[in-house]
Structure formats: C-alpha cells, structure tokens
Structure 1
Amino acid sequence: MSSLSSSLRVCRGILKELRAAQGSKYKQTLVYNYVMDQFRKNKVTGERYCRAQQEAHHAAQTYLCLLSSTRNHMILHNLYHGKGDGSVEQAASLVGLRLPSQPGGKGWEE
C-alpha cells in the first residue's frame, strides 16, 4: 500500500511542476497526457507485482527531481545572475553584510 501512496505522491508532484511550468492550461499539453498514460499503464494491482513497475516508479521519481531542480535553478539564476557590476554596498548586502557607516567623515579628523 505504501508503494501506491508513494506513486500517487510522485504523480501529484510531477503534475504540480507541470502546472508551475505551463500555467493553468497544463492539462491540454501532450506532456500531461503522456504522464497520465504512463501512470495508468504501470498501476499496481493485487494480482501483479513486477520489476517494470518499480523501474517506472524510479523513472518517475527521477523526472520529478529533474523538474523541481530545474525550476529551483531558474529561480536562483534569475535572482543572482545578469545584474552586472553593482556597488560595494549592493555586493555586501547580497551576501548579508553591511558596510560600516562613517557619519562624520573618516573618524580621525575633527
């Protein structure tokens, strides 16, 4: 029974990633039809337990990992890449640091 719930979890995860990538009309895509067809074809029944189902489950988990990793990579790429050279203050704030403030100049003159 845990294999069935695990397969359902993977299927829902893949559909969630497709929805994030394709938008609200993801159900009209060929990818959605292919994924649903593969999950229906490799469904475990009471009479059958075969190695092909385990291989299909592993392939589905790998595909889910690929989709989520690609989405996370694009988020990080858009966040940190391509902004050009910034000021020292921007570079420091990017890594969580602040530059010391000098309100009256350098501090040693009067």
Structure 2
Amino acid sequence: MAALSSPLRVCRGILKEIRLSQGPNYRQSLAYNYVMDQYRKNKVTGERYCRAQQEAHHASQAYLCLLTSTRNHMVLHNLYHAKGERSPEQAAGMVGLRLPTQPGGKGWEK
C-alpha cells in the first residue's frame, strides 16, 4: 500500500478542489464548513492515537482523489465531447495526424 501524505496536505488539496469548483466565495459553502469541522474533530493530540483517525485520513485521501479525478474528467469531456460534428481535418488533428493533399494541382485542394 502506498504511504499516505500528511493530513495537512490532503486538507489543503480538498480545499483547493472546493475553491476551484465553488469560486472565490468557497468559504461560505457547506462543503468547506463540513471539511473543516471533520478535520478539527479528528485532530490527533499527543495523548491519543486511534484507528479512527487513520481511517478518516484514508477516507479524506480517497475523497481528494475523487474530486481531482472528477475535475479532470470534466475538463477532458468539455474538450473532446461536446463539440458536435467535426470535419475530417479536425478529427485527424485531434489525434495528431494530417490528411494527405492531392498532388498535381487540380485546383480544388487547399
């Protein structure tokens, strides 16, 4: 199993994803308040070490992965899917190809 990053880094990552989705007023959102309450509630002090805190950290790491993947999916979806019908030149350009040109100068090629 891969090592988990620090809880502070995960919290900052989650708040960054909330900021990207909610806009500049993300601190007034319910998601921001919920995340901050959960991090404050599961804070580990020097006197206690519990399994629940590790489970909460693992769940927060998974939630950060979900938020990041969802945002990346929407970027790719908007880039490639919702454009309608494309010309053959545009479709070939998306995958890094070019259509061949007609040799001999027939007058109708570009």
Segments of 5+ residues of structure 1 without an aligned counterpart are none
Q: Does 1:57 align with 2:57?
A: yes
Corresponding residue for residue 87 of structure 1? 87
Shift of 1:39: 0.3
| Equivalences for residues 1-110 of structure 1 within 5 A | 6-102=6-102, 104-105=104-105
- Whole-angstrom CA distance in 2 between matches of 1:23 and 1:95: 33
CA distance in structure 2 between the aligned counterparts of 1:42 and 1:21, rounded to whole angstroms? 25
Q: Which runs of 4+ in 1 moved over 4 A?
A: none
Deviation at 1:103, TM superposition (A): 5.3
Taking the aligned partners of 1:27 and 1:104, their CA distance within structure 2 comes to: 65
Residues matched between the structures, number: 104
Identity of aligned residues (%): 79
Higher fraction of helix: 1
After TM superposition, give the deviation of residue 101 of structure 1 in Å: 2.5
TM-score with structure 2 length normalisation? 0.87
CA RMSD of aligned residues (A): 1.8
TM-fit CA distance, 1:67: 0.5
Amino acid corresponding to residue 59 of structure 1 in structure 2: A
TM-score where L is the length of structure 1: 0.87
Relative to structure 2, which stretch is displaced further, 45-54 or 95-104? 95-104
